[in-house]
Amino acid sequence: MVKENGNSDQHGRTLSLRLRVWRQNRGQPGHFEEHFLAAVPETASFLEMMDMLNEQLIREGKDTFAFDHDCREGICGMCSMTINGMPHGPLPGVTTCQLHMRNFRDGETITVEPWRARAFPVLKDLAVDRSAFDKVIQSGGFITVRTGSAPEANHTLVPKQVADEAMDAAECIGCGACVASCKNGSAMLFVGAKINHLNILPQGQPERERRTLAMVKTMDEAGFGNCTNYGECQAHCPKSITLDVIAKLNRDYLRARVKEFFSSTGKPSKGGE
Amino acid sequence: MPESSCSPCCQPASIGKKIIMALTGLVLAGFVLGHMSGNLLMFKGPQAINAYAEWLHSHPGALWIARFILILSVIGHIWTGILLTLENRAARAGGPAIDATRRASISSRTMPYSGIVILAFLGFHLLHYTFRKVALGGKDFGEDVYAMVVFGFSSPAVSVFYIVSMLLLCLHLSHGVSSVFQTLGLRNERWRGRVDLIATAYGWIIALGFISIPLAVLLGCIK
């Protein structure tokens, strides 16, 4: 599969690429722009390759491509490119910044697009507005704690299994690949991960029902689609969050609805005694 | 009481719609199992199936309660299905120029299409054997259900339509039944494979059970 081209230097193999990159200004229609980039080391990350492309564009006196990035260590959730139709590219379980060019062939055409979803409007080129996720978190992705001196460490006991399960859900970095990969533009893997993270811990219990209802309501209002159990989100999630979190979100939502519907009014009804 | 902006009946939340889809789907999936089991009496001969039909009609109260629940489920399932499909198309905003699929099954991606064909089939099937208005050559079979079915399936075109529709029902059930478990929160990574297997097996059992009758008529095993 890998083709040697003899252009080896200290980085090993290098690649020549034909890149089709999305160009768009906010609120205007976008289009693909084609660029050729040579001598890309196979050890470069995908974002470093994009840096090389931008440097080439600067040398040519052209506009660079805007794209999101921050830590470049796979933990911040900022990078967000759809590479050949796959959010975060062809390698499962990694973010774009941790995807290296050795996973591509010399001479390959690579199509780079932003996340595509109504709830994530394009800001510029490959950067999209993911503040819909912030709104979901603001509506219930928190617990209420007493501030001040540090609490006694063993005050609230958390069974190991529960802590592990919460940690698995908390691995979500909120990048939005689940929405971008979902054929319905649904955010349920993200919301499921955030709700599970807090709903299964003892610290999350006081606001459990309120949190679930509020976060689902905000998710719906932001214009995300509805889950129809395709499973694409799990297959594209750079943190390999599983559909378990959606099953548990469904269960918690049903529970919260029933509890809300039959909540005590505290007073006898007018027709009563 | 909930301070929802709109009554939950006219605009249920995303998960509410999923739950409606799952519960109505569950009713319909249960119905096809009962219907298919009853149909297999065709292989026991005319007396068995005709007696079964007579027994059903001798309990009009129960029959109408069942029909009422089924009609409600069909309406709920279709209405929610249309809502979900339209909302999801809009939320995707066209999708990427290249749309790679890693995991979504063919059955999950064709649910609206298999559903539409099954609905068309349902309309034809009701006109055919319930109201007896089409494809029966204007004959009056009276209480003889056996003769009606044999006559109906002796037309290859009708039988092929039944068989194709049942294969699509198999496809629809293989995603639908496993989704019921996911939507009601009764699934995890350990059970995912098993539930998918159960759903696929259920789809095939239903489809093959139904298909056996037109096939038997076409092959001359039932006369």
The answer to whether residue B51 sits within a structural domain is yes
- Shared domain for A115 and A172, answered yes or no, is no
Could you read off the pLDDT of A161-174 as tens digits, one per residue?
999 999 999 999 99
Question: Which of chain B's residues have a Cβ under 8 Å away from the Cβ of A246?
Answer: 182
Chain A to chain B, count of Cβ pairs less than 8 Å apart? 144
Domains of chain B: total: 1
Is there a domain that residue B49 lies in?
yes
Q: Quote the pLDDT of residue A1.
A: 44
Q: Mind telling me how many Å the CA of B45 is from chain A's nearest CA?
A: 43
For residues B56, B58, B61, B64, the Cα torsion angle rounded to the nearest 10 degrees is 40
Using a CB-CB cut-off of 8 Å, the residues of chain A touching B183 are 229, 250
Domain boundary among A122, A149, A173: A122
Nearest to A236, CA basis, from A76, A92, A112: A92
Residue of A184, A209, A213, A224 to mutate for B, most B C-beta atoms under 10 A? A184
Q: Say yes or no: A134 and A114 in one domain.
A: no
Please report, rounded to a whole number, the percentage of residues in chain A having pLDDT higher than 70: 95
In a domain, B101, yes or no: no
Q: Give the domain range for residue B209.
A: 15-89+108-218
pLDDT band, very low/low/confident/very high, at A264 (cuts 50, 70, 90): confident
Question: Which of A84, A103, A122 delimits the end of a domain?
Answer: A122
Q: How far is B66 from chain A (nearest CA, A)?
A: 26
Residue that the structure tokens 């470093």 belong to: A48
Average of pLDDT values for B183-193? Answer: 94
> Are A112 and A161 in a shared domain?
no
Query: For residue A262, what is the nearest residue in chain B, using CA coordinates?
Result: B1
Residue A7 placed within a domain: no
Tell me the nearest-neighbour CA distance from A32 into chain B, angstroms: 10
Cα distance from B11 to chain A (closest Cα, Å)?
11
The span from the CA of A125 to the CA of A23, in Å, is 4
Q: Is residue B3 part of a domain?
A: no
Chain B residue numbers touching A231 (CB-CB < 8 A): 103-104, 108
Percent of chain A with pLDDT over 90: 86
d(CA B84, CA B88): 6
Residue B145 covered by a domain: yes
Whether residues A84 and A205 fall in one domain? no
**In a shared domain, residues A195 and A236:** yes
Q: Clarify whether residues A254 and A144 are in a common domain.
A: yes
Look at residue B6 and tell me if it is in a domain. Answer: no
With 0-12 / 13-18 / 19 or more C-beta atoms within 10 angstroms meaning exposed / middle / buried, residue B166 is: buried
pLDDT score recorded for residue A25:
95
Picking from B7, B84, B92 by the largest number of A CB atoms within 10 A of its own CB, the best residue to mutate is: B92
A244 with A155, same domain? yes
What integer best gives the mean pLDDT of chain A? Answer: 93
Same domain, A252 and A136: yes
- For B59-74, the pLDDT digits (tens) are 999 999 999 999 999 9
Of B84, B109, B182, the CB nearest to A243: B182
CB A77 within 8 A of CB A175: yes
Identify the three-state secondary structure at position A153: coil
Mean pLDDT of chain B: 93
CATH classification at residue A42: 3.10.20.30
State the best of B4, B5, B14 to mutate against chain A, taking most chain A CBs within 10 Å.
Answer: B14
Instruction: Decide if pLDDT at A30 tops 50.
Output: yes
In a domain, A9, yes or no: no
Q: Are residues A251 and A135 in the same domain?
A: yes
Mean pLDDT of B37-55: 96
- Cα distance from A161 to chain B (closest Cα, Å)? 15
Structure confidence by residue, pLDDT tens digits, A154-164 = 888 999 999 99
CA distance B87 to B72: 22
Task: Establish if B19 belongs to a structural domain.
Answer: yes
- What is the mean pLDDT of the segment spanning B14-21? 95
How much is the ipTM here?
0.91
Q: Is the pLDDT of residue A53 over 70?
A: yes
C-alpha–C-alpha distance, residues A79 and B1, integer Å: 42
Say how many domains are in chain A.
2
For residue A271, name the pLDDT band (cuts at 50, 70, 90): low
Determine contact, residues A70/A76, Cβ cutoff 8 Å: yes
What type of residue is B136? L
Instruction: Say if residue A155 is in the same domain as residue A242.
Output: yes
At residue A272, the pLDDT reads 52
Q: What is the band of B8 on the pLDDT scale with cuts at 50, 70, 90?
A: very low
- Give domain status of residue A272, yes or no: no
The pair of three-digit structure tokens given for residue B76, joined into one six-digit string = 């709920």
The closest alpha carbon to A34, from A5, A11, A57, belongs to A57
Q: Are residues A138 and A114 in the same domain?
A: no
Least confident piece of the model among A138-147, A264-273, B122-131: A264-273
**Residues in A touching B186 (Cβ below 8 Å):** 247, 251
What span, in angstroms and rounded, lies between the C-alpha atoms of A212 and A263?
16
pLDDT the model gives residue B1: 35
Exposed/middle/buried for residue A261 (C-beta within 10 Å: 0-12, 13-18, 19+): exposed
Cα distances (Å, whole numbers) of residue A32 to A20, A24, A29, A125:
6, 9, 11, 10
Q: What is the CATH number of the domain that holds A251?
A: 1.10.1060.10
Tell me if A218 is assigned to some domain.
yes
Q: Is the pLDDT of residue A62 over 50?
A: yes
Question: Residue B96 falls within a domain, yes or no?
Answer: no
What 3-state class would DSSP assign to A122? strand
The domain containing residue A51 runs over which residues? 14-122
- Domain boundary among the residues A122, A157, A191 is at A122
